[in-house]
Structure 1
């Protein structure tokens, strides 16, 4: 029991590092995308990550089969559609609104997990998700929330990212982690190629200056290979609901890195939101542990 809990805590800590990695690269990606079309950037990011991951996974090719191809392609499709609908949403509404609605995947994940796999989230995971969602509101939402085409696209984006988290937890227990990650990278790259040619007319970056090269290098290594390999590997030892709550730390880390390295301001409501997200994560992480300790002491009496 103790070793199982320690393994789960270790997995959750590494997933937290994933959220920090995404948040730390946020302003770098934002600066690069201001110069490079989104699908073009995604194409180079995920294709290069796929090639490097294929080299890392070379010895795992003996486990390649149709089932793992389908599983990796499905995860890659969810990931790409999440990015695509997020991009569409940003053309119709505020980025803060999109960030908030996308973050609501933390609420969606427990319901999707139950509907598809009949797995109930714990009371503490549900409470933590609610607290984290309120924190997201204060951290990301600077404008009134309406319901236009932009909000609808952002909701679809949240659903896609929720499905990606849920199915990653399910499929990572059945297939080779290295192959799952490699295949989904190539799937995102292929879809981005199509999106770039259709929506942007090309996948050749307009500028290949140091900003673009640095952004690609940082996102390929830290925000893609490291982040998605760790997510896929560690979700075998924890729940999808807790993973979604931990990932709400991404905008928190983005705000902290933006404050220290990009001279961005953090308002008092944003700081309160960040604290609430942290509280939501701690509720989900520690609630079940203390409840189990309480039950064990009660049974021992």
Structure 2
């Protein structure tokens, strides 16, 4: 019973992560209108790394090669997902990118089975399918074709799936705080390298209110809080359920956009949001068979 309560608490906190990502979506969108993407990622993850250092300070004596190695792996997965997603946006619509990225919800259970032989329950499989249908209805506004943009975004979804799967495994083996710290440091370093190589500017930016608001809020809530909660709570729940819960990100983004900028949703998009919520409920509810007793 206690383990079930831990799992429920973990799932609810993971839901708060999805909401944090969704709520900060508009801020990030505004910021990257005037700031190169990789430069923004460098500042976002750089500030997050500094904050995480002070949070993990008392555990620094537990640093070992395995912790650093695991953090670098997760950070590489995470940054590579951001990079392929960004390049994908150059070749196809953002709505298509959002949908294909969300396909990690179906990749996770199958990859977890292929890599670690994790069992896929029927309800999780059904929930994943429902979530994919919901994502399609909520995010798609163009014709889905197979081009370089779609291919890059498919790789992005695959990488996000790997990040979720390996976070669940690594979080049980090393100190969670240090694991998050080295993951964030890795993303910071890779973002700096890519920014210096590909962005027009990295440091000579327009440091306006939108930039500072987006960087600070995403660093605190969408990075430090989000990845610390994800890493810690995945000890108590499965990677497949985590992916389904994270499918709530576009739902929270749509709701926030509705209230903040009066962005309306079509009936199809609303039905998609409802399906994603339904998928989360299906993944969470415990179904019990009723036994018929005959006299």
TM-score, with length taken from structure 1:
0.95
Task: Say how many residue pairs are matched.
Answer: 294
The CA RMSD over aligned residues, in Å, is: 1.3
C-alpha offsets along residues 12-69 of structure 1, whole Å, 9 cap, x if unaligned? 0000000000000000100001110000000000011001100111100111000000
| 1:176 correspondence with 2:161 | no
CA shift, 1:121, in A, is 1.7
Q: Distance in 2 between matches of 1:184 and 1:3?
A: 30
Runs of 4 or more above 4 Å deviation: none
Cα distance in 1, alignment partners of residues 204 and 43 from structure 2: 9
Per the TM alignment, residue 262 of structure 1 is displaced from its structure 2 partner at its CA by 1.9
Match of residue 8 from structure 1: 7
Return the offset for 1:201: 4.2
Partner of 1:34: 33
Q: Secondary structure at the match of 1:266?
A: coil
* Distance in 1 (alpha carbons) for counterparts of 2:126 and 2:194: 38
Gaps of 5+ in 1: none
* 1:36–1:205 contact (8 Å) kept in structure 2: no
Contact 2:134/2:272 (<8 A) preserved: yes
Provide Cα deviations, 1:212-233, integer angstroms capped at 9, x if missing partner. Answer: 0010111011000000000000
Instruction: Report the counterpart of residue 238 of structure 1 in structure 2.
Output: 237
Q: Which whole-Å deviations, capped at 9, do the CAs of 1:270-291 have from their partners, x for residues lacking one?
A: 10000000111111110xx223
Task: Give the match for residue 76 of structure 1.
Answer: 75
Q: 1:183-235, CA deviations, whole angstroms, 9 ceiling, x for partnerless residues? A: 00010000001100111144215200011001011101100000000000000
In 1, are the aligned partners of 2:36 and 2:200 still within 8 Å (CA)? no
Match of 1:290 in 2: 287
| Partners of 1:269 and 1:256 in 2: CA distance | 15
Cα distance in structure 2, aligned partners of 1:41 and 1:176: 28
Change (3 A) 1:24 1:205: farther
Partner of 2:221: 222
Q: Does residue 281 in structure 1 map to residue 280 in structure 2? A: yes
Counterpart secondary structure, 1:120: coil
Q: Displacement, 1:267?
A: 1.1
Deviation at 1:120, TM superposition (A): 1.6
Task: Map residues 117-136 of structure 1 onto 2, 5 A cutoff.
Answer: 117-136=116-135
TM-score (norm 2): 0.97
1:290 counterpart SS class: coil
Native 8 Å contact 1:40 1:205 kept in 2: no
Alignment of 1:92-241 (within 5 A): 92-241=91-240
Query: Which structure shows the higher helix fraction?
Result: 1
Distance 1:238 1:146, change over 3 A: same
Q: Distance in 1 between matches of 2:201 and 2:189?
A: 13
Point out where structure 2 has 5 or more consecutive residues left out of the alignment: none
Q: 2:247 matched to which residue of 1?
A: 248
Output one character per residue of 1:113-155: Cα deviation in whole Å (capped at 9) or x when no partner. 0111111221111100000000000000000000000000000
